[in-house]
Every structure is written in C-alpha cells, then in structure tokens.
C-alpha cells in the first residue's frame, strides 16, 4: 500500500496486466554493441545496472524484427534462435536480483536503416561495405546523400507485419513483461504515417486511415503473439517539426485508433523523419505532445520524454496531468542512479535501494554531501 503523501512519481501504475512499482521509466537507448543482432556483455551490464537501480520499468533498445530492420549492423535483432536465447539469458539473470519490469522496443528502421555508428557518423553503409538495401513506403531519400529506399510492396508489408508478430512471440518466450512498438523517430512505421515520406496511392497511403493502417496491423500482430497478462504499448510521434508533416492533432487522432485497438500505453516523442526539421529543444519540449495525446485517449497511460532532468520537474508533469509516467534516456546515462536522487529531492524516505547498493545512499554514505559541496568546504 502506498503511504499517504507519496509523490506521484513514486506511486505504482497499471499497464495492461502488469503493475509498475513507480513511474520512472528507462527509455530505449541504442548502444550499437550487438554482433549479428545478438546482444553482448555490454547489454548485460547496462540493463543489469539499470534494473538494480530502482527504476520501475527498463525498456531494452530498438531491436530489429528482421535483418534489414536494424538501424545499423551493430544493433540487436530478434529474428532467430540465438538472439532469443541470449535475450532470455539476460532476462533470467536480471530476475535473480531485481524485480524491475523489463520491456523491449521492437522496431524496423525503414529508409533510415543500414547506417554507421553515431560516433563514426550517420552515414549510409552500402551493401558492398556490410550494409543493405533499405525499404520504405515510397522511394524518397531521407536526405540528399542517402539512397532512396525500395518502395515496399504489399508482400513486403505483410512480411514485416508478420516479423513483428514473430518477434513478439520470441519476446514472450524470453520472459519479458512488456513490448513497446517503435513508430516514431523517422523509422518505418513513422515513415508510413507521415505524408512527407508516404506518397503511396494504395491501401497504405493517401488518407489518414490508410497511412495508419500498417501501425494498427503491427499492433494486432504483436498483441496476438504476446501473453494477454503482459503489456503492449507504442511510441508515436507528436510532431514532425516540418511543414506538411505529422502534427499534434494527427497524433491525437492516431491515439484514438490505438485506444480502440486495445493498446496498453502510449509513449510520445517527436522528430527524426526529415533532415529539414526545425526542433525547438528545451525543458519539457515534448511534454505538450504527450498531454495532447492523453486528452485524446483518456484512460490510456501516457509516457512523456524529452529534457526532463530533475525529480521536481518530473513530478510537476504528473501533478499537472500532462502524463502518467516519465521516460528518461540521456539523463540515465549521465546519472545511472537518477531515481535515487529524485527520491531524495521529493522527500521519499522509504524508497528501497538494492541491498548491495545500500551503503551508498544519502542516508548511509557521508561522502554523499561532497557531491553538492566544494571539496574546500568538506570539513565544515
């Protein structure tokens, strides 16, 4: 039972058939550390550390449902038995020391696939150099230097929808609690949804309903292949930040369709579709999109993300009714124990820290004060 006066950020929430112990979520973050789609020791230490640090939900990074659906050759996949076995081993290992809920983001990168690692440069990798031909709704290049993707045939679309369903089945067998479908950041499902990248004239293009069709088909395929007592959600775009692209109103209309389809949660971010986007970045810069979606689909929990860096900031978003959960990405890379600091900041005295970390909390470690005071004043 939650003690009276507990900040919303530290209250449990129900997503489908699972209960998340608090509302702080580690968002999916690409690590570019996989080999042939198989997760490596890097993933084990990264996810393991996050799961032991007090976050209510940890979502593993964008995982390709087929080889050409990976963002890069170094991204994980979930289309074969070896990938599934390593993922299951990771999940089983985490279960031995953490009760955190674990999810995975299933994805297809579309025309933005076959790229190099970001510290090398966001360059297209040709098939001759280990890359592959990309696929998209229409043969429109992401920018002037990348090749246009192959226009997906109806058979391609059917194959991709099935691949999402098959990956959901593997996710279920691996023991994951939750699936988040990736439909933003300029990847395939977003490409179909946006009129800037979808110029088709068949059942998957043109009208709003047609452009949303593949998203709803993927949701149905994932839901049909994932245990009913677990959660299926989706990350959608709140804006393309580009003239003629997806708007917050479009996101709201899509949220209504997704609610009707039985989605368990919505995660709202934005951008990534075009190289001409004009994003205004600042604190809470995407929260208004989450709020718009939440109003359009009442009763469906909504995650907000984007330049949320303090516990007080996160709590205010929840108190104002703009979102139901807070997803963090780079804030967690910067401060792996962000959720501890938020608990202290918000006065949550009964926040449970893993026993193996218990000697390093604000209550138990005198050195904690040095984190916020100059060393010259340490003796005071």
The DSSP code sequence of 168-218 is HHHHHHTT-SEEEEEE-TTSHHHHHH-TTT----STTSSSHHHHHHHHHHH
Nearest to 88 by CA among 7, 13, 169, 145: 169
Of the residues 32, 55, 124, 187, which is catalytic? Answer: 187
Measured between alpha carbons, how far is 299 from 345 in angstroms, rounded to an integer?
29
- 3-state SS assignment for residue 76: coil
- 3-state SS assignment for residue 226: coil
Tokens of 350: 């009964």
Return all residues near 126 (Cβ < 8 A) that are at least 6 apart: none
Torsion of CA 63, 67, 69, 70, to 10 degrees: 50
Nearest to 184 by CA among 306, 283, 310: 306
Measured between alpha carbons, how far is 317 from 315 in angstroms, rounded to an integer?
5
Q: Do 293 and 266 contact (CB within 8 A), yes or no?
A: yes
Measured between alpha carbons, how far is 310 from 335 in angstroms, rounded to an integer?
11
Return all residues near 369 (Cβ < 8 A) that are at least 6 apart: 378
Active site residue 187: yes
Q: Do 62 and 107 contact (CB within 8 A), yes or no?
A: yes
Catalytic residue list: 187
């Amino acid at each position: 039972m939650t003690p009276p006066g507990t900040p919303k950020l530290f209250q449990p929430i129900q997503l489908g058939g699972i209960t998340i112990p608090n509302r702080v979520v580690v968002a999916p973050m690409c690590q570019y550390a996989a080999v042939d789609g198989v997760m490596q020791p890097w993933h084990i230490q990264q996810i393991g550390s996050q799961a032991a640090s007090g976050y209510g939900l940890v979502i593993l990074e964008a995982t390709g449902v087929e080889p050409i659906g990976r963002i890069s050759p170094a991204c994980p996949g979930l289309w074969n038995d070896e990938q599934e076995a390593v993922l299951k081993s990771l999940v089983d290992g985490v279960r031995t020391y953490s009760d955190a809920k674990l999810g995975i983001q299933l994805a297809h990168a579309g025309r933005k696939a076959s790229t190099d690692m970001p510290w090398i440069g966001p360059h297209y990798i040709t098939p001759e150099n280990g890359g592959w031909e990309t696929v998209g709704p229409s043969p429109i290049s992401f920018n002037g230097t990348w090749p246009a993707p192959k226009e997906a045939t109806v058979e391609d679309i059917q194959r991709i929808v099935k691949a999402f369903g098959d990956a959901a089945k593997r996710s279920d067998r691996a023991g994951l609690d939750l699936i988040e479908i990736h439909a933003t950041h300029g990847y395939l499902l977003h490409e179909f949804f946006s009129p800037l990248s979808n110029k088709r004239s068949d059942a998957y293009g043109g009208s709003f309903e047609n452009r949303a069709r593949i998203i709803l088909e993927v949701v149905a395929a994932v839901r049909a292949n994932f245990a009913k007592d677990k959660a299926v959600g989706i990350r959608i775009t709140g804006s393309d930040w580009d003239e003629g692209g997806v708007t917050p109103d479009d996101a709201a209309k899509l949220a209504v369709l997704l609610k009707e389809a039985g989605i368990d949660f919505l995660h709202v971010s934005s951008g990534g579709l075009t190289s001409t986007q004009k994003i205004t970045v600042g604190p809470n810069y995407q929260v208004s999109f989450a709020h718009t979606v939440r109003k359009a689909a009442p009763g469906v929990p909504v995650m907000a993300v984007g330049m949320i860096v303090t516990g007080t900031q996160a709590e205010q978003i929840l108190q104002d009714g703009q979102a139901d959960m807070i997803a963090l990405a780079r804030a967690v890379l910067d401060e792996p124990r962000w959720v501890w600091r938020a608990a202290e900041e918000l006065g949550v005295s009964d926040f449970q820290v893993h026993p193996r970390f218990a000697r390093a909390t604000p209550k138990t470690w005198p050195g904690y004060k040095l984190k916020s005071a100059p060393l010259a004043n340490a003796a005071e």
